[in-house]
Amino acid sequence: MSRTTPVAAMPMSGHTPDTGGRRLPRVLHPVAWWIWALALATAVSRTNNPLLLFLVLAVLGYVVTARRTEAPWARGFKYYLYLALTVVAIRVLFRAVFATGITPHDHFLFSLPHIPTPDWYAGIQLGGPVSLEALLSAATDGLRLACMLCCIGAANTLANPKRALRVLPGALHELGVAVTVAISVAPQLVQSVQRVARARRLRAGRNKGLKALRGIVVPVLEDALERSLRLAAGMDSRGYGRAGTATRSSRRITGALMLLGMCGLCAGAYGLLDATTPTFLGLPAMAVGAVLCVAGLRLGGRRVSRTTYRPDPWLLPEWAVAGAGVLSAVLLFSNVGYNAAELNPSIYPLSWPTLPLVPTFAILLAGSAGFLAPPPTPPNPIAPRQRAEKAEAT
Amino acid sequence: MITFDQVTVHYDGAAKPALREVDLTIEEGELCLVVGHTGVGKSTLLGAVNGLVPHFTGGTLYGRVTIDGRDTATHPPRELADVVGVVGQDPLDGFVTDTVEEELAYAMEQLAIPPTVMRKRVEETLDLLGLADLRHRALHELSGGQQQRVAIGSVLTAHPRVLVLDEPTSALDPTAAEEVLAAVTRLVHDLGVTVLMAEHRLERVVQYADRVVHLPGNGQVVHGAPTDILRTSSIAPPIVELARAASWHPLPLSVRDARRAAAPLRSTLAGTTPAPIRPTPATDRPALLTARGVTVSYHGVPAVREVDLDLHGGEITALMGRNGSGKSSLLWALQGSGPRRAGTVRVTGAGATHDPHSLSAVHARRLVGLVPQTPADLLYLESVKQELDQADSESAKEAESSGARSILDRLAPGIPDSTHPRDLSEGQKLALVLAIQLSAAPRIVLLDEPTRGLDYRAKAELTRIVAALAGEGCSVVISTHDVEFVARTADRVVVMAEGDVVADGPTSEVIVASPVFAPQTAKILAPLPFLTVDQVTSALESAAPTPRDGEDRA
């Protein structure tokens, strides 16, 4: 699951672009990647079969290595893999320590020292015998969660988070900018912590305790505050937040619409989940709420007048990638052509998991995003003339 | 284009107004230079142009500021974004997006310019500022000069009629500064953009200015043609000081004009040997610090390559080189706090030699003191007194060193105990941190770019401080981009490029030989070996009787 798996260790094809035939390299619409990844995560939630789960990881690894760019955010997939590994480990560890659900027919592996618990704590057992079945079920559960995490990680790696925020409706523009600024401030904060910590040594200040913390936190925060004030001044003088066509009354209407819409959504959710409520409180309330919210967002969007530079197009590859993801989720939920029990192989009694044909096909279908998406822009495009010169030189 | 009508700016809680009854009209297409010492209200004047003062900074503005007919009282900065573009001192602070192209488009997106127009303007701006090769690069990967050009481009795409630049070159090495200034002059001459620019290092820009606005410090403003204002202003680049000393009329502002005016002066000075800028240090002093084969690398990329360096007591060394040439890495490695991949550093102190890298931080700073690039990183307490007391307690293990307070009084007299360190000027902050570092009584003092953001007065102070330290037998190393400062201050210049030492020798030999690093006086008087105006005036004074006698006899 870490670097050593064959998939993750594959050569990074980001350096050798154009695996996509004659297609021009370009960046896929970030929303397409998010739909693809979320659909795949939904599909994963359906199965407990370790073979299928490993297949999903392999597919994610392939798509990420094939279609990620060289940008800073695209280097983070391995951290999601570490996180996934941690999730599995914690899951297994807890299951071993809190030895629950052991039946007499289990295959016992080893026994942890039993820690006696007081009477009022009787429900939970600490330590005791550990069985193969318990560990396996914990591991597959953890693996499923890990796969879903990796799906999100893949979306974050493949789509530029800042470009993804651009699709927010105009009314939420301020929110998008706040998140964008926060994203760019975080690395600067890390840098200034490193710089100040290094400078601390020059003063031979104490390295431990509250005083040392203060010596680092105070300059860093002061630095960050000053920097953000300068950034705010810069954004203001570059036209951020210019008044659009909205008037006072339209702003009030926007507020009212949003508030009513939110109420509708809440009531609808409540109605749907609680069977005893009258039917009009269910889907109808939810629909009305949604309509009101959309209207509010549209009206609020008029307040902000701005345009987008080089908007990402939504073309055939976007449809294909999003479609592949959605189709795989639909196949895994449809129960057509395979036995649903194969998705969740039995642990009691232990049996070797099988690889059902249709779900395997569904997951491989999601993997086709690796070549359905256009190749990413190479990091430093070499001009044809330079390329010719290089060829001559070699 | 820009009109100040009886403008007075008063910040809340300030005793005196920052600007007082300023009347100023700047015509279209002018390059107007704002000069003055630190803290006289330059930033206030520039900020008032697009309404950041007082809309953003607070305070009260009396009178009226109009830009292209729009009153800043009724137009907040964002409503003026299509008329005024503002570029700050540190370009990284103002970047909102992360690649060059998106940054250029940001202001236009806010102004709701149609995508097709946007695309065209971005391409034009990329060409105009020579950024086309960098269009997809991440902003933080660019060099300082490139970043500053992107910052200028990012406001230019909105097609503003006025460009306000607050010290755009203060963080840049001489070549990068030339790059930025060339871009600015091109905008003025080709596009007729009105530029209002504040700059400390006048020698770089004064020749391009159509008009100079001088803030003498009482809140008022004197403005006029550069030659008129600079003839009497308290701030002047070396070229003007030289012209005053030699009483040239009209006042030359470029090296070319000055050289043509200087022909008689050169013949007068021919044959005279300039007085040494600093007393020549004794030749047989032992080295206080010996570095051999020092190598520093980050993630496998070498920053310093096998540098050998000897530092002697009583000597002031200037470390020069473009941004990223390894100056800071070398200083940190010499101090022992920074990483060092290979090589040895031996420091002689208290009768024994040590490697500061292997000592504890407390002992290392008693051998070598380093003032980092941003001195404020070391300050974290509420008052100057607390900082100084803390410094004493940090370094008072051996009582031989004098208290930090008395050092600070020697370096920069008159800083009250109760002041908050953040309220000090750049020069005072530097003095405070230097006092803190000197309280440990190191024999070797390293200063990493101390001249950044200092005005002429503060630099003269720094020269005095550094000379006093050298007089006490310390060895001082200053990394800097400021050639005029180096010419006045240093005994020896070490030039670095790509981690190598490419030149090492006495100041007069190293900097005169280089077209980039030569100070203005040297350029004007070449081939005569004069570096500073002081040398010329003293030579003129001592030589004055002789040629006149000769003339009389003839």
Of the candidates B55, B105, B377, the beta carbon closest to that of A309 is on B105
B534 to chain A nearest CA, in Å? 36
Contact criterion met (CB < 8 Å) for A237 and B86 = yes
Whether residue B551 is predicted with pLDDT greater than 70 in this model: the reply is no
Contact criterion met (CB < 8 Å) for B115 and A238 = no
Mutate to test the interface with A, among B101, B379, B380 (most CBs of A within 10 A): B380
According to DSSP, residue B368 is labeled E
Higher per-residue pLDDT: B164 or A5: B164
A198 to chain B nearest CA, in Å? 7
Binned at pLDDT 50, 70 and 90, residue A6 comes out as: very low
The tokens of A168 are what? 């927010």
Query: How do residues B342-400 score in pLDDT, each as one tens digit?
Result: 999 999 876 788 888 888 888 888 889 999 988 888 888 888 988 888 888 877 655 55
Are A360 and A257 members of one domain?
A: no
Whether residue B553 is predicted with pLDDT greater than 50 in this model: the reply is no
Give the pLDDT of residue B334: 92
Which ipTM did the prediction report?
0.84
Of the candidates B93, B155, B394, the beta carbon closest to that of A238 is on B155
Size of interface A-B (CB pairs under 8 A): 162
Chain B hits for A181, Cβ within 8 Å:
96
Widest pairwise Cα distance in chain A: 83
Contact criterion met (CB < 8 Å) for A223 and B110 = no
Give the pLDDT of residue A377: 74
CA separation, residue A35 to residues A61, A80, A86, A222, B157 (Å): 17, 19, 26, 40, 35
Average pLDDT, stretch B521-541?
Answer: 88
Are A25 and A128 members of one domain?
A: yes
Are A26 and A110 members of one domain?
A: yes
- Do residues B115 and A247 touch, judged by C-beta distance below 8 A? no
The tokens of B179 are what? 């790059």
Mutate to test the interface with A, among B377, B423, B429, B434 (most CBs of A within 10 A): B377
According to DSSP, residue A222 is labeled H
Average pLDDT, stretch B188-211?
Answer: 88
Asked, for residue A343, whether it belongs to a domain, the answer is yes
B203 to chain A nearest CA, in Å? 28
Asked, for residue A96, whether it belongs to a domain, the answer is yes
A66 to chain B nearest CA, in Å? 20
Chain B hits for A204, Cβ within 8 Å:
360-362, 364-365, 394-395, 440
Contact criterion met (CB < 8 Å) for B378 and A204 = no
Chain B hits for A205, Cβ within 8 Å:
394
Of the candidates A201, A231, A306, the beta carbon closest to that of B109 is on A306
Quote the radius of gyration of chain A (alpha carbons, Å): 27
Query: How do residues B139-166 score in pLDDT, each as one tens digit?
Result: 887 888 888 889 999 998 998 999 999 8
Asked, for residue A178, whether it belongs to a domain, the answer is no
Mutate to test the interface with A, among B78, B106, B299 (most CBs of A within 10 A): B78
Mutate to test the interface with B, among A238, A302, A380 (most CBs of B within 10 A): A238
A256 to chain B nearest CA, in Å? 27
Give the pLDDT of residue B402: 67
Nearest CA to A37 among A165, A143, A150? A150
Asked, for residue A38, whether it belongs to a domain, the answer is yes
Contact criterion met (CB < 8 Å) for A219 and B379 = yes
Nearest CA to A160 among B314, B472, B97? B97
Chain B hits for A243, Cβ within 8 Å:
79
- Do residues B535 and B275 touch, judged by C-beta distance below 8 A? yes
Are A277 and A149 members of one domain?
A: no
Asked, for residue A206, whether it belongs to a domain, the answer is no
Chain A hits for B97, Cβ within 8 Å:
162, 180
Whether residue B494 is predicted with pLDDT greater than 90 in this model: the reply is yes
Are A358 and A262 members of one domain?
A: no
Contact criterion met (CB < 8 Å) for A234 and B109 = no
Give the pLDDT of residue A2: 39
A164 to chain B nearest CA, in Å? 13
According to DSSP, residue B191 is labeled I
Are A138 and A88 members of one domain?
A: yes
pTM over 0.80: no
Contact criterion met (CB < 8 Å) for A307 and B113 = yes
Contact criterion met (CB < 8 Å) for A233 and B56 = yes
Of the candidates A199, A214, A377, the beta carbon closest to that of B378 is on A199
CA separation, residue B296 to residues B173, B301, B345 (Å): 22, 9, 13
Instruction: Provide CB contacts within 8 A for B409, sequence distance 6+.
Output: none
Question: Exposure string (b/e) for A248-272, b if CB count within 10 Å is 16 or more?
Answer: eeeeebbeebbebbeebbebbeebe
Average pLDDT, stretch B495-512?
Answer: 90
The tokens of A21 are what? 């035939």
Nearest CA to B436 among B405, B465, B410? B405
3-state secondary structure of B313: coil
- Do residues A366 and A61 touch, judged by C-beta distance below 8 A? no
Q: How far apart are CA A167 and CA B480, in angstroms?
A: 46
Round the average pLDDT of chain B to a whole number and report it: 87
The tokens of A237 are what? 């003088």
Question: CA nearest A308 in B: which residue?
Answer: B109
According to DSSP, residue B206 is labeled G
Of the candidates A180, A199, A233, the beta carbon closest to that of B372 is on A199
Average pLDDT, stretch B493-502?
Answer: 92
Are A288 and A333 members of one domain?
A: no
Tokens 């081939």, residue located: B527
Query: How do residues A75-110 score in pLDDT, each as one tens digit?
Result: 888 899 999 999 999 999 988 887 666 677 777 888
The tokens of B144 are what? 């300082």
Nearest CA to B450 among B425, B430, B474? B430
Binned at pLDDT 50, 70 and 90, residue A351 comes out as: confident
- Do residues B353 and B346 touch, judged by C-beta distance below 8 A? yes
Asked, for residue A155, whether it belongs to a domain, the answer is yes
Mutate to test the interface with A, among B93, B154, B424 (most CBs of A within 10 A): B93
Q: How far apart are CA A11 and CA B257, in angstroms?
A: 61
Are A141 and A255 members of one domain?
A: no
A152 to chain B nearest CA, in Å? 22
Nearest CA to B83 among B154, B158, B24? B158
Binned at pLDDT 50, 70 and 90, residue B308 comes out as: very high
Contact criterion met (CB < 8 Å) for B376 and A235 = no
Chain A hits for B88, Cβ within 8 Å:
230, 233-234
Are A358 and A298 members of one domain?
A: no
Last residue in a domain, options A303, A337, A369: A303
Last residue in a domain, options A261, A277, A303: A303
Contact criterion met (CB < 8 Å) for B95 and A307 = no
Residue B194, H or E segment: strand B194-198
Give the pLDDT of residue A1: 37
B416 preceded by a cis bond (ω within 30 of 0): no
Contact criterion met (CB < 8 Å) for A306 and B112 = yes
Last residue in a domain, options A271, A303, A335: A303
Of the candidates B95, B136, B377, the beta carbon closest to that of A196 is on B377
Question: CA nearest A383 in B: which residue?
Answer: B133
Domain range for A111 = 6-163+313-393
Q: How far apart are CA A312 and CA A57, in angstroms?
A: 28
Asked, for residue A233, whether it belongs to a domain, the answer is no
Query: How do residues A290-302 score in pLDDT, each as one tens digit?
Result: 898 888 888 877 7
Contact criterion met (CB < 8 Å) for A233 and B77 = yes
Neighbours of B500 (CB within 10 A): 15
Contact criterion met (CB < 8 Å) for B79 and A203 = no
Binned at pLDDT 50, 70 and 90, residue B6 comes out as: very high
What strands, in cross-sheet order, belong to the sheet with B301-312?
A: B301-312, B287-298, B342-349, B352-354
Widest pairwise Cα distance in chain B: 80
Asked, for residue A221, whether it belongs to a domain, the answer is no
CA separation, residue A383 to residues A17, B101, B120, B388 (Å): 14, 18, 21, 58
A141 to chain B nearest CA, in Å? 39
Chain B hits for A303, Cβ within 8 Å:
none
Domain count across chain A: 2
Contact criterion met (CB < 8 Å) for A202 and B105 = no
Contact criterion met (CB < 8 Å) for B378 and A203 = yes
Chain B hits for A203, Cβ within 8 Å:
365, 378, 391, 394, 436-437
Are A260 and A154 members of one domain?
A: no
Q: How far apart are CA A60 and CA A7, in angstroms?
A: 9
Whether residue A323 is predicted with pLDDT greater than 50 in this model: the reply is yes
Mean pLDDT is highest, among A324-328, B10-14, B37-41, B138-142, for A324-328
**A146-160, A181-195, A371-385, B223-237: least confidently modelled range:** A371-385
Contact criterion met (CB < 8 Å) for B52 and A237 = yes
Chain A hits for B54, Cβ within 8 Å:
none
What percent of chain B is predicted at pLDDT more than 70?
A: 96
B72 to chain A nearest CA, in Å? 12
Chain A hits for B107, Cβ within 8 Å:
238-239
The tokens of A97 are what? 């320590």
Contact criterion met (CB < 8 Å) for A309 and B118 = yes
According to DSSP, residue A116 is labeled P
Are A141 and A72 members of one domain?
A: yes
Are A288 and A325 members of one domain?
A: no
Q: How far apart are CA B449 and CA B454, in angstroms?
A: 10
Residue A323, H or E segment: helix A316-334
